[in-house]
Structure 1
C-alpha cells in the first residue's frame, strides 16, 4: 500500500485515492491523522520488540527450518 510523506497509508487504487483527497479537501478527515486500526499502541510496540528478540535468539539452522516450513505451506496451497 502506498504511503504518504509522513508514513500514513494511502489507498492504492486511483478512485480510492481520489475519494481520500476529496475528504481531506472538504475537511471530513485530517491529512496527518493515521487511521486507528483498533490495536493498542503499547501492544504493537511490544510485539515488534518480541519478534526481533526471537529472531536474534534463534540459530541460523532454526530460522532456515522455519523458512522452509513456511515456503512449503505457501506453495502447497491450491489456487481458488
Structure 2
C-alpha cells in the first residue's frame, strides 16, 4: 500500500494549506490506491447486476424463506 503525503501538523500551516487547495494556489496531493480503473469498472458492472439476477433465479418460496430469516434476525435484537 502506498503512503499518502502527510498534511502539516501545525494548525496555521494546515489552515494555509487548506485555503491554498480551496483557492487553487496549491495542488491537492494525488493519491493512487493502486487499482486498475478498468477492473474497477468491470467489478462495478457485475455488482449492479448481482441482486437483480439473484432475485430472478429464486422461486417465490425461496424469496419468502430469505425474507423470513432476515425479519427474524432483525427482530431478534429487541
Give the TM-score, by structure 1 length: 0.45
Q: Which has the larger radius of gyration?
A: 2
Give the TM-score, by structure 2 length: 0.46
**Greater helix share, 1 or 2?**
2
If asked which structure has higher relative contact order (CA below 8 Å, sep 6+), I would say 2
